[in-house]
Amino acid sequence: MESPPPVAVVAVPFPAQGHLNALLHLSLQLASRGLPVHYAAPPEHARQARARVHGWGGDALRLLRLHELPIPAYASPPPAATPGGGGPAAFPSHLMPLWEAFTAGAPAPLASLLAALSATHRRVVVLYDLANAFAAEEAARLPNGEGYGLICTSLSTLLWWTDAGTSLLRELSVGCIPIHTYIPEEFMEYSRKRARSDQTIPSSAGVLTNTCVTLEGESIDFFAEQLAGAGKKLFNVGPLNPILLLDASSSSEEQKGSSSSDKERHECLRWLDEQPPASVLYVSFGSTTSLRGEQVTELAAALRDSEQRFIWVLRDADRGNIFTDDCGEDHRHAKLMSEFTEETGGRGMVVTGWAPQLEILAHGATAAFLSHCGWNSTIESMAHGKPILGWPMHSDQPLNAELVCKHLEAGVLVRAVEKQREVIPRTTIQEAIEKVMVSDEGRKIQQRAMAIGEAVRSSAAAGGASRKDLEDFVAHITR
């Protein structure tokens, strides 16, 4: 009689782009090592993963077995625009109906999938976002199951919830403002009921993080000690995103060959090919925040007056369903952008849809990143040695911005975190741009970011600490 297959891995992401992205990268890392990986998400979010995965070859998704978890219908309201982006008003509360539907509807179909795999495999390994307490519970019910939580934010974010962790962050000059200041009460209540790390971590066999010693060594040491006392394993496997190394001096065809995607290259990459090395500022605020018109006007003026080359991704935040038929929001700044493009005379490019961020950050023409400091963006920028102009919006982003700008000294804050609820004037933005792009201090910051990038890439390379932790995790779950 044949023995059952040794292991099945089931990944259960939380339905927000940054969370989908991190667990998708981890799933592809495991699948590329020969493990059978099942990626389970609501239908439109499985589709979203397919549409937005980048940094991998075109056939990479064929390595995964995508499962659609049916959930109840939910409202998908347009995101609200916010002045400067900071504070609870910037939080993507328009996604709350989706998250409520997900936690109400996904447990039953996930349980059915896990039961089927449990009956046909020696071991079922469930990888779940820490926001998905129900997935931890379903994993714990399996007679041959093991659950592992993935921390999709910075590890330092979790330290804010303990007195000892808060003290450590203050020693590192990080996190002067409690994280809950940037999260509305409605989401705090949702987390208390359905998505708490104090539910997911205790019921797990271990924890994985999308970080490395170079970026968060002190937080890793602190957290490892806490987990060791509970008999749990910690695997620091970041950066999960592929690391792409493109050369601005290469020809367009050479760069196309060195990219990890065989899809047609985005027009912004072809534009970057024509720019001098380390001359372009990349501007993007992620998938959960929309800026009001007055803030867009101030930012446009700062980019114009700084006279620096730029790529500006100007798009509204994702709806709960990014495939909704209402596409008018991308054009609400059409008049301004028409005038702005004429004023800047080809010195920059405005992208009003999705952009290939990994390839932009990897490109040799890109010098720095004006960012909301979501963790995916932060670690992608650091891995490619690009300094950050921190413009945090909500949740863990203010802490991430301070981690990079104050502790790692690889960026500058566009403005103090505690003033993020205001419209940031053009002069303040321009001053930050010019500091990083053309000043002597900026050159030191760029050099610091490049050194950090080399260390992060070494960690992910053969023999590095993150690569070893990933290999140890694979060996552990296939033991």
Catalytic residue numbers? 19, 129
> Residue 68: helix, strand or coil by DSSP?
strand
CB contact burial 193-225 (16+ within 10 A = b; e otherwise): ebbebebbbeebbbbbbbbbbbbbebbbebbbe
Q: Can you say whether the dihedral through the CA atoms of 466, 394, 49, 45 is positive or negative?
A: positive
For residue 356, count CB atoms less than 10 angstroms from its CB and return exposed for 0-12, middle for 13-18, buried for 19 or more. buried
Query: By the 8 A CB rule, do 383 and 241 touch?
Result: yes
Tokens of residue 145, six digits: 């199951």
Cα 241 off chain centre by: 9
Cα(77)–Cα(321) distance, rounded to whole angstroms? Answer: 9
Tokens of residue 371, six digits: 């960012």
Cα(277)–Cα(271) distance, rounded to whole angstroms? Answer: 13
Cα(362)–Cα(47) distance, rounded to whole angstroms? Answer: 26
Question: What single-letter amino acid sits at 435?
Answer: K
